Amino acid sequence: MRKTALVTGILFAMGATAPAMAAGQSEDDWTASNNKKLFQTIDTNGDSVLTQNEVSNYDEIANLFTHLDADGDGELSNREFGEFNPSQATINQAKGKM
Ligand SMILES: [Ca+2]
Ligand SMILES: [Ca+2]
């Protein structure tokens, strides 16, 4: 009886957390892995920051540049770029270069 109750409890706990994790993962998926790839793709000189010149081929990012540049130093760091949710058009544009 106790064993059955324990197993049921574990299954219940897994069932309760799994959907929450899946939802979080699907939301973070682009930001966590692909956004990093996108960043590296755009960072053509590899200095780990994006300048306005580097993003000039990406209209969406160029337009949002000052908004994304939270500390206003004129460059986008990896962390600042992590706030960016690229549109499908930007994703498609970058995909061929990744
Ligand atoms: Ca750079
Ligand atoms: Ca900055």
- Domain locations in the chain? 30-95
Q: Report the distance separating Cα 90 and Cα 59, nearest Å.
A: 8
Q: Which two tokens stand for residue 73?
A: 């130093």
Rounding to the nearest 10 degrees, give the CA dihedral for residues 47, 52, 56, 58.
Answer: 80
CATH hierarchy code of domain 30-95: 1.10.238.10
CA of 48 relative to ligand 1 center, distance in Å: 6
* Sequential pLDDT tens for the chain (98 residues): 666 666 555 555 555 444 444 444 444 456 567 888 999 999 999 999 999 999 999 999 999 999 999 999 999 999 999 999 999 999 999 988 88
In the reported structure, the alpha carbon of residue 62 is separated from the centroid of ligand 2 by a whole-number distance in angstroms of 14
Ligand nearest to the CA of 46: 1
Distance 64 CA to ligand 1 centre (A): 17
